[in-house]
Chains A and B, each alone.
Chain A
């Protein structure tokens, strides 16, 4: 067994369609009748694609970086509050920032571009906001931090990778504290783009179900405060225990059907968690998008590694696919499941298709005294990420 110092979770914040903060998301996680996605209220589109937008939060045009940064600020505020950290506390420590995103690192403002390409002079503000709104750099400037500031854009595994990197920074003594996670918004570009790829469902998504026919986009942010020191006075206590990342070298959008890359990422995460075995994992919060190929690959890999005893679910039927935020949001939801010792049913799973070797949990399942959970993320470009979470 390899021994590492613990990397503690001292604060968490989250905003998504599941709720505007962690307590309300926790309550909704186990609700018997989950909220359904709906046609977008804010994207001008004729596409009949239901999405999981965040209700009751209007975009603030004054926030640099757009709605993604607005979401990040909500989650960050909650995480710092739970950790009991003020700006002054942050200034006294070696604090790093690692944030995943896809939308916030692209300038995809359509009116701005329409003017630019026509030879006109577009307004400067969208460009300045884009430069100033790089999520990790914005956070570092906002709190006058001196540590590393890294924005990860690994498509749909960005948020999970940001948390994994943050864990390594603390383990290696580079930082005392790291603000990490992911953020992404729904706008016209991902909506039209994912539709073009033919992976969006016109119905509420059904991860791992025989009738699954695609994903629903979502938006949100999830932020963790990771620390080298145990939180004071809070019980139980949680830690980031392991991290693995590998690439498929297979296809730009499709995962390797055999899932060899995902298997390597999971194996490395278990090794990184001190050499624990697959039997130590109480449950897996899968990437589970609801697309045919993704769910098939995950099911195959889980069966290969965990045999028939694998207990896994997807929470994307509750939040939608929040892209660069997904790995962070799912990490936080997994921590909530460890805390409550209960894994909810995989949303809208009803029946197993013949080509799938394993079914997800179809009912809420108690996990008394469970110690470890695994959260997996797969991404465009064949990127695979696995995080091991631990209840101490």
Chain B
């Protein structure tokens, strides 16, 4: 496979800087996201929020777009179930249902950023970010797009809160809320860092509270300022 370069990276989490609700609200207002769910607003704020490392607000129209999540928009799925439980079945809000699919966030981002390149929503519970990075590399190598904007979103809610009680062997504690945005290219650029995807290296140690299969060590590496050291990604142990 061709090399993969990280041009920009922002990670919002308890381990870096969390995304403040006021900032999410500001992004909603600035980009007419009133009807969008919080999951989509988180995705938009990952790219367009004011805090965090500098990030471009404009992208080439043929940029590829990938969103990745383990639990996806589970709060919106549950809101649809609220409708089903509380109202006659012909009174479900269509806007809720349409936002409950995983790729609704990618659709909003594409509209906001005027991106019409290939777009994907991918999901998994084992190494979702690793697999999404592999997809980015695949798209770039196929020349389907010159760059890829990869957004990882894990939102907390009723389901994640219940996870430790429902599957204690898998979730020692509630999965963290984490949002990341990575701009990727197959070509080096000033300040870019090379990413190595090392599937054969086995599993990396993973902080079990962290979703997206993003170990704390890798978060620190990715957010380390003023370095162009390569970063090695390995499939992590399951969350």
Chain A residues engaging chain B, CB cutoff 8 angstroms: 45-47, 102, 105-108, 110, 113-114, 116-117, 121-122, 124, 127-128, 131, 134, 136-137, 146-155, 161, 165, 168-169, 171-174, 188-189, 192-198, 244-253, 260-261, 264, 268, 272, 379-383
Q: Is A382 within 8 A of B84, CB to CB?
A: no
Chain B residues engaging chain A, CB cutoff 8 angstroms: 1, 65, 72, 74, 77-78, 80-85, 89-94, 97-104, 106-108, 110-111, 113-126, 131, 134-135, 138-139, 141-142, 144, 158-159, 162-163, 165-167, 170, 199-200
Q: Is A250 within 8 A of B162, CB to CB?
A: no
Q: Is A153 within 8 A of B101, CB to CB?
A: yes
In the complex formed, the residue of A with least CB distance to B2 is A172
Q: Is B138 within 8 A of A117, CB to CB?
A: no
Out of B100, B120, B162, which one reaches A122, CB within 8 Å? B162
B121: A residues at CB distance < 8 A? 152-154
CA distance A134 to B103 in the complex (A): 16
CB distance from B122 to the nearest CB of A (A): 6
Total inter-chain residue pairs, C-beta < 8 Å: 206
CA distance A150 to B125 in the complex (A): 10
B123: A residues at CB distance < 8 A? 105, 134, 151, 153
CB distance from B20 to the nearest CB of A (A): 26
Q: Is B98 within 8 A of A107, CB to CB?
A: no
Out of B99, B100, B116, B199, which one reaches A247, CB within 8 Å? B116
B92: A residues at CB distance < 8 A? 192-193, 195-196
16 contacts between A and B (CB under 8 A): A106-B74, A107-B159, A117-B158, A128-B170, A146-B199, A153-B123, A168-B141, A193-B80, A246-B118, A248-B116, A252-B99, A252-B104, A252-B108, A381-B104, A381-B110, A383-B103
Q: Is A150 within 8 A of B110, CB to CB?
A: no
Q: Is B106 within 8 A of A247, CB to CB?
A: yes
B159: A residues at CB distance < 8 A? 107, 116, 127
CB distance from A184 to the nearest CB of B (A): 12
Q: Is A174 within 8 A of B1, CB to CB?
A: yes
In the complex formed, the residue of B with least CB distance to A108 is B77
CA distance A113 to B79 in the complex (A): 10
Q: Is B84 within 8 A of A188, CB to CB?
A: yes
CA distance A380 to B131 in the complex (A): 23
